[in-house]
Amino acid sequence: MIEYSKAVEIILNSTKTLGLEKVFLDRALGRVLAEDIHADRDNPPADNSGMDGFAVRYEDIKGASEENPAVLEIIAESKAGGELVKVRPKTAAYIYTGGLIPEGADTVVQKELTKVEDNKVFIFQELPKGSNIRPQGGDYRKEDLLIKKGKKLRPAEIGILSSVNKPTVYVYQKPRVAILTTGDEILDVGEPVEKLSQIRTSNTYSLYSQVLEAGGEPVVIGFAKDNPEDIQKKLEYAKSCDILLTTGGVSVGEYDLVKDFVVKVLGVEILFWKVKQKPGKPVAFGVWGREKEKLFFGIPGNPVAAMVVFENMVKPAIRKMSGEEKVFNPVINAKLKGGYKRKKGERVEFIRVSLSLTDDGFVAQPFGKQGSNILTGMVYAHGFGIVDVGVTEIKDGETIKVSVFDKSFMDGRYGD
Amino acid sequence: MIEYSKAVEIILNSTKTLGLEKVFLDRALGRVLAEDIHADRDNPPADNSGMDGFAVRYEDIKGASEENPAVLEIIAESKAGGELVKVRPKTAAYIYTGGLIPEGADTVVQKELTKVEDNKVFIFQELPKGSNIRPQGGDYRKEDLLIKKGKKLRPAEIGILSSVNKPTVYVYQKPRVAILTTGDEILDVGEPVEKLSQIRTSNTYSLYSQVLEAGGEPVVIGFAKDNPEDIQKKLEYAKSCDILLTTGGVSVGEYDLVKDFVVKVLGVEILFWKVKQKPGKPVAFGVWGREKEKLFFGIPGNPVAAMVVFENMVKPAIRKMSGEEKVFNPVINAKLKGGYKRKKGERVEFIRVSLSLTDDGFVAQPFGKQGSNILTGMVYAHGFGIVDVGVTEIKDGETIKVSVFDKSFMDGRYGD
């Protein structure tokens, strides 16, 4: 039995970032960039107009006023995507936002400050030279570093990738995560109940969804009965995956064959079994594969314990494999409403709380039933309040650290 | 030109939640539940053991002690998923976590408090009647309401759905969101640059990604040149969608045909054009379709303005169509580092800030370049600081409201 912090350290030290793959931009959102992105040309590529109006020579509008306007002949037009035109002394060009600054022009006068009559523009005001011009390279220069390797791609970065003509981009591969559910009593969804003792799975598909959320590729390799042949057969299906999660089968009962079989079938080297935490004590962790680059997590069958173990231990490993730097859920300080007491302080305890963000900061509200088998108590939870080793009471209004697995409590309601 | 808050009100009042569809659980994550979910049977379905140990009659262990243990014959075994067995007076059954409580037994003694010899179990301690039994229906009863309609589905809820034998579930449909990019100067990714005035799109694919993030289905209907035939043809492609986004083509230039054409081709009724906000002033909004159930947003071509308009106006509409209750990004209070000044206070202004969460609360750091055409300035941004109408200065360390579009700044780093 090891300390929680030691367990997390062992897991992350055993986890290696995967190789690279090229993906199209429509699949790149949320992936971690594995190459530096440089500008393919200046942006803007040439001087252009920030306004609709007239491109002129500053010399020609110098001293212009209401009483004594500059009067220039309109001889050309420059629109976004158009050709490069020219202006000569005493002439002007119509120009539209994004239009190239004509050869000879150095200033743009916005439409609002002008009047047009008989193909002549009247300009009633002098503007500083260079007004309303977006200069070539004003945003960035060709070869500039725009996005650094390691950045998790969001919409802004996808936009930049397309603007520098990268329809495909190198990102880190996603781990394939095999999910094996064990136990004679477990039914898959859709299977008929034949005995009172049978339980329909929740872990298989909550883990499936957690793997998706964490950025992995879930692979449900199925359900194994508590017999050697079935476990062995199903474990073979895990060989093509990067991580194996088993759920059930790691407590002390004599029917718990899984841990022995992952050693035998996959060559798993167990690095720890049992962690000083509540819930989730009977968790096993190991490494396997030719270079011990693959991971095994034996997750308790208890639905809430399974969630805790996934969020705190499996998710950081998936994120590290996927190239992410920030692998842990946020840990915030919140005021604990109603307080929390327990008898023993030997293990770190994770208690389900709902969260709200008030003018006074974060507020955490624990649930009545904290039994680890009561998954329905998760429905209104946003995080796990952390009751540290040695702590047996946190009083009403005192601060509790909360590991947040659902940040949506912060979102705004229509009408707020 | 209307106020920002009025614009948002008009949009949400014009937005109707879509119809329902059934999806399998592997596609249900993040969708909004459109039916109440009730328990299909008691959970646990029958009294079962919370421990590995022995199922006994309380009568038989009453008064047991170190010196005077109860000695019971082991006559049966109850494991998870097994058959219902029986105990008689002075006998016990092996029981494993999840095993049914045998007929006649009323208490489970954990293994650690016992010793086995010659098929007899020695019990050295009296336990209260009912110890270590998880009672039938202790989590919930058949027909109990487990998840209410309107809940956004997370891994815990997916787990519950499978445990009540719902492989498919009713959720609200996702809106199909057509994206049309306009402007003679805009090139798609991959197209060769032929003129200095051509610009490669960023908005098409940043909007694509924002639609995905918001929970919509992006449909890139393409690029329209600034001529009537091309705009008309491309707009026809939008007819099967619920929302049309156009980007570019809503400023005052004479080449801005889009707004006229959405009226002509799709029958859009424009409800507002131009909003008192910076960036993003030239935004148009309207409704169309047989029952005016479809939406049109004319989004400025400016990449940063496009992001602002999407996050504040389009995303809430997509979320409302998808059945979500919380449609807005979180708005938090943060300390503004370095302060912010502007000349005029006529429009609400959204300034790009990076965020951090410190022991002292949220801290917002604005960027040097706030020019609305500088998309690269978005790379380190997490939110838009809101400078309200009438406000021209927020001093260093003062509070600023921030609308957060990327909550990942809160996540934890390995080694923190």
For B352-381, the pLDDT digits (tens) are 999 999 988 999 999 766 665 678 888 889
Calculate how close chain B gets to A55, using CA atoms only, in Å.
14
Residue indicated by tokens 């646990």: B44
- B364 neighbors B334 (Cβ within 8 angstroms): yes
Residue whose C-alpha is closest to residue B414's, from A323, A67, A212: A323
- A184 neighbors A226 (Cβ within 8 angstroms): yes
Distance CA B270, CA B285 (A): 6
Distance CA A77, CA A94 (A): 4
Average pLDDT for runs of 10 along chain A of length 416: 97 98 98 98 93 96 96 94 94 93 97 95 96 92 96 97 97 98 92 92 97 98 89 95 87 62 95 95 95 96 93 98 97 96 95 94 84 76 97 97 97 84
Residue indicated by tokens 């931009």: A25
Q: If DSSP codes are grouped into helix, strand and coil, which group holds residue B60?
A: helix
Distance CA B299, CA B313 (A): 10
Q: Which residue has the higher pLDDT, B130 or B258?
A: B130
Does residue B253 register a pLDDT over 50? no
- Residues in chain A with CB shorter than 8 Å from the CB of B226 are 79, 81
> Which strand (E) or helix (H) includes residue A8?
helix A4-13
**A194 contact partners, CB below 8 Å, separation of at least 6:** none
The complex scores an ipTM of 0.94
- A35 neighbors A339 (Cβ within 8 angstroms): no
pLDDT band at B411 (very low <50, low <70, confident <90, very high): very high
Among the partner residues B45, B193, B326, nearest to A196 by beta-carbon distance: B45
- B80 neighbors A183 (Cβ within 8 angstroms): yes
CA triplet A215, A219, A225: central angle to 5 degrees? Answer: 135
The residue of chain A nearest to residue B362, with distances taken between CA atoms, is A361
Residue indicated by tokens 């329209």: B224
- Cross-chain residue pair B329–A29, CB shorter than 8 Å: no
Write the Ramachandran bin of A109: left for phi over 0, alpha for psi from -120 to 50, otherwise beta: beta
- Cross-chain residue pair B251–A199, CB shorter than 8 Å: no
- A171 neighbors A29 (Cβ within 8 angstroms): no
- A313 neighbors A11 (Cβ within 8 angstroms): yes
Question: How would you classify the pairing of strands B284-288 and B383-387?
Answer: unpaired
DSSP state at residue A311? I
Among the partner residues B46, B196, B212, nearest to A45 by beta-carbon distance: B196
B58 phi/psi in degrees, rounded to 5: -55, -40
The yes-or-no answer to whether A48-134 and A331-410 have a common fold is no
Counting beta carbons within 10 angstroms of the beta carbon of residue A270, is it exposed (0 to 12), middle (13 to 18) or buried (19 or more)? Answer: middle
| Number of other residues whose CB lies within 10 A of the CB of residue A75 | 16
Residue whose C-alpha is closest to residue B284's, from B295, B294, B270: B270
- Cross-chain residue pair A189–B159, CB shorter than 8 Å: no
Which structure tokens are listed for B122?
């020695």
Mean pLDDT of B218-233: 91
Residue indicated by tokens 């980007």: B247
Residue indicated by tokens 């998870």: B80
Q: Can you say whether the dihedral through the CA atoms of B336, B282, B213, A149 is positive or negative?
A: negative
CATH class of A20-43+138-172: alpha beta
- A218 neighbors A177 (Cβ within 8 angstroms): yes
> Which strand (E) or helix (H) includes residue A217?
strand A217-224
Q: If DSSP codes are grouped into helix, strand and coil, which group holds residue B410?
A: helix
Q: Identify residue A195 by its one-letter amino acid code.
A: K
- B31 neighbors B90 (Cβ within 8 angstroms): no
How many contacts (CB atoms, under 8 Å) link A and B?
321
Residues A4-18+173-321: name the CATH superfamily. MoaB/Mog-like domain (3.40.980.10)
Question: How would you classify the pairing of strands B277-278 and B348-358?
Answer: parallel
- Cross-chain residue pair B328–A100, CB shorter than 8 Å: no
Distance CA A341, CA B208 (A): 49
Distance CA B260, CA B268 (A): 9
Distance CA A111, CA B237 (A): 35
Q: Identify residue A99 by its one-letter amino acid code.
A: G
- B181 neighbors B223 (Cβ within 8 angstroms): yes
Chain B interface mutation, best of A27, A38, A154, A213, highest count of B Cβ atoms under 10 Å: A154
Name all contacts of A148-152 with Cβ < 8 Å and 24+ positions apart: A148/A33, A148/A36, A148/A37, A149/A33, A149/A34, A149/A35, A149/A36, A150/A32, A150/A33, A150/A323, A150/A325, A151/A32, A151/A33, A151/B379, A152/A30, A152/A31, A152/A32, A152/A33, A152/A324, A152/B408
For residue A415, the model assigns a pLDDT of: 73
Q: What is the pLDDT of residues B307-333, one digit of tens each?
A: 999 999 999 999 999 999 999 999 999
DSSP H helices in A170-273: 203-214, 228-236, 258-266
**B117 contact partners, CB below 8 Å, separation of at least 6:** none
The residue of chain A nearest to residue B212, with distances taken between CA atoms, is A29
Calculate how close chain A gets to B38, using CA atoms only, in Å.
11
Bridge partner residues of A402 (DSSP): A332, A385
Does residue B392 register a pLDDT over 70? yes
Candidates 3.30.499.10, 2.170.190.11, 1.20.140.10, 3.40.50.720; correct CATH number of B48-134?
2.170.190.11
Q: Can you say whether the dihedral through the CA atoms of B93, B99, B102, B106 is positive or negative?
A: positive
- Residues in chain A with CB shorter than 8 Å from the CB of B408 are 152, 326
Q: Can you say whether the dihedral through the CA atoms of A331, A335, A336, A342 is positive or negative?
A: positive
Candidates 3.30.110.40, 2.40.340.10, 3.30.450.40, 3.20.20.70; correct CATH number of B331-410?
2.40.340.10
Among the partner residues A46, A196, A253, nearest to B84 by beta-carbon distance: A196
- Residues in chain B with CB shorter than 8 Å from the CB of A212 are 29
Q: If DSSP codes are grouped into helix, strand and coil, which group holds residue B304?
A: helix
For residue B370, the model assigns a pLDDT of: 63
**A330 contact partners, CB below 8 Å, separation of at least 6:** A403, A404, A407, B357, B407, B410, B411, B412
- Cross-chain residue pair B376–A139, CB shorter than 8 Å: yes
Distance CA A101, CA A196 (A): 81
Which structure tokens are listed for B84?
């219902």
For residue B254, the model assigns a pLDDT of: 38
Q: If DSSP codes are grouped into helix, strand and coil, which group holds residue A82?
A: coil
- B412 neighbors A330 (Cβ within 8 angstroms): yes
**A106 contact partners, CB below 8 Å, separation of at least 6:** A56, A57, A58, A129, A130, A133
Q: Which residue has the higher pLDDT, B50 or A397?
A: A397
Q: What is the pLDDT of residues B1-46, one digit of tens each?
A: 999 999 999 999 999 999 999 999 999 999 999 999 999 999 999 9
| Number of other residues whose CB lies within 10 A of the CB of residue A227 | 11
**A28 contact partners, CB below 8 Å, separation of at least 6:** A153, A158, A161, A169, A171
- A31 neighbors A172 (Cβ within 8 angstroms): yes
- Residues in chain B with CB shorter than 8 Å from the CB of A316 are 414
Question: How would you classify the pairing of strands B114-117 and B393-394?
Answer: unpaired
Q: What is the pLDDT of residues B134-170, one digit of tens each?
A: 999 988 999 999 999 999 999 999 999 999 999 999 9
Say how many residues make up chain B: 416
Strand order of the β-sheet with A294-299 is: A217-224, A176-182, A243-247, A294-299, A284-288, A269-273
For residue A371, the model assigns a pLDDT of: 62
- Give me the residue spans of the domains in chain B: 4-18+173-321, 22-38+145-171, 48-134, 331-410
- Cross-chain residue pair B202–A374, CB shorter than 8 Å: no
Torsion, Cα A370 A374 A377 A379, to 10 degrees, reads: 150
Q: Identify residue A136 by its one-letter amino acid code.
A: Q
Bridge partner residues of A25 (DSSP): none
Q: How many CA atoms lie within 13 A of A339 on its CB side?
A: 8
Distance CA A395, CA A338 (A): 7
Which structure tokens are listed for B146?
């487990």
Bridge partner residues of A20 (DSSP): A172
Question: How would you classify the pairing of strands A277-278 and B133-134?
Answer: unpaired
- Residues in chain B with CB shorter than 8 Å from the CB of A333 are 359
For residue B257, the model assigns a pLDDT of: 77
